[in-house]
Amino acid sequence: MKTGTYIIITGLIFLSGITYPVFSQEETIISPYIQLQYFKDSDDLRSLKTTLTYSHDRIEIPLAGMSISFYSGDTGRELLGTVSTDEKGVARFELPQDQDLPVKNDGLWIFRTEFSGNDTIEAVVSDLSIKDVKLDMVLSEADSVKTITITAFTPGNDGDIPVSEEVVMIYVPRMFSLLPVGEAWLNEKGSASLEFPTDLPGDPEGNLTIIAKFEEHETFGNVERASQQKWGIPSVNPAPVAHRALWTKTPPMWMIITLSILLTGVWGHYLFAIISLIIIKRESKKQKKL
């Protein structure tokens, strides 16, 4: 066999095993999903959140850098603002506190989010009706029993109307997510009470953040009220015994000694070689003088 043939066969064997992406331009138009959510935080700051995604191989993929418009009102919509989606496909619009929102007869705000589409992605809109709710939380302690009292009212023409037969979730934030600690069912007076557990670890002072929430409520959206209280067990986290100690500030002594010996030995020899070269140079100068 000729050498060239050998090389070709070898190359083919090599290339056959390695996969690389073949990019193909798919001409299909993407049909995106749009989701509009309403949020009201503990400081009564309101915001609208739009998530724009599409599905590929049953995996939800975000659409980043898309311009999303937010509107309020049912007829004669008013443009609130335009925001681009981030890498998670999320566009968030903070409603100014003094924003005057048109209210329908039934006390609902109407919001709309719109993506006007482009050459490769279809246009899509989503509407949301929200009723404002005043959510309050009172934390009290009597005879070592810790109680959370929740009240919820919606504004009406003749004063506040209690929210009844609805559930408010109670959470305590932990390291990775919110820990549910109870569900408060609102009675006909718009009020609910529940006992808070006594065995939750807090920070070193025993502080806990307690959050009451309407979650993805079809009328109220996401509304929360948070409060901090010393209701937790003060946590004491002693530093674990570092058996290997390689992440401590100072390396183990044996490591310093080994490295020093190795480097001194090696660089000592380098020095010897460099000095030899210098002497060679001097020798030539001496020879010339002679």
> Minimum CB separation from other proteins for residue 59, in Å?
6
Query: Which residue in the set 198, 259, 261, 264 belongs to the binding site for other proteins (CB under 8 A)?
Result: 259
Under rule CB under 8 A, residue 247 binds other proteins = yes
Query: Which residue in the set 142, 239, 242, 246 belongs to the binding site for other proteins (CB under 8 A)?
Result: 246
Residue for token pair 């007076």: 189
Beta bridge partners of 112: 71, 127
Residues numbered 125 to 154 that lie near other proteins (CB under 8 A) are none
DSSP-derived letter for residue 238 is: P
Under rule CB under 8 A, residue 239 binds other proteins = no
Under rule CB under 8 A, residue 64 binds other proteins = no
**Residue nearer to other proteins on the CB measure, 4 or 159:** 4
Question: Taking CB under 8 A as the rule, which mask of x and - marks residues 262-281 in contact with other proteins?
Answer: xx--xx-xx-xxx-xx-xxx
Collapsing DSSP states into helix, strand and coil, what is residue 216?
A: strand
Beta bridge partners of 93: 48
Q: Are 146 and 231 within 8 A, CB to CB? A: yes
**Number of residues this chain uses to bind other proteins (CB under 8 A):** 43
Distance of CA 69 to the CA centre of its chain: 23
DSSP-derived letter for residue 133 is: -
CA distance linking residue 202 with residue 215, whole number of Å? 24
CA distance linking residue 152 with residue 160, whole number of Å? 9
Helix (H) or strand (E) holding 258: helix 253-289
> Minimum CB separation from other proteins for residue 120, in Å?
19
The tokens for 21 are 């992406």
**Residue nearer to other proteins on the CB measure, 59 or 142:** 59
CA distance linking residue 209 with residue 171, whole number of Å? 8
**Residue nearer to other proteins on the CB measure, 239 or 277:** 277
Residues numbered 12 to 31 that lie near other proteins (CB under 8 A) are 13-14, 16-21
Selected range binding other proteins among 24-32, 56-64, 150-158, 226-234, rule: CB under 8 A: 56-64
Selected range binding other proteins among 24-32, 90-98, 168-176, 250-258, rule: CB under 8 A: 250-258
Q: Which residues contact 63 (CB under 8 A, 6 or more apart)?
A: 30, 32, 52, 53, 54, 85, 89, 121
Under rule CB under 8 A, residue 288 binds other proteins = yes
Q: φ, ψ for residue 59 (rounded to 5)?
A: -115, 135
**Residue nearer to other proteins on the CB measure, 147 or 258:** 258
Query: Which residue in the set 99, 252, 261, 264 belongs to the binding site for other proteins (CB under 8 A)?
Result: 252
> Minimum CB separation from other proteins for residue 8, in Å?
11
Q: Are strands 208-217 and 167-173 parallel, antiparallel or unpaired?
A: antiparallel
CA distance linking residue 218 with residue 97, whole number of Å? 23
Q: Are strands 67-72 and 78-84 parallel, antiparallel or unpaired?
A: antiparallel
CA distance linking residue 101 with residue 19, whole number of Å? 56
> Minimum CB separation from other proteins for residue 87, in Å?
10
Selected range binding other proteins among 53-61, 134-142, 145-153, 176-184, rule: CB under 8 A: 53-61
The binding site for other proteins (CB under 8 A) comprises 3, 6-7, 10, 13-14, 16-21, 57, 59-61, 246-248, 251-252, 255-256, 259, 262-263, 266-267, 269-270, 272-274, 276-277, 279-281, 283-285, 287-288
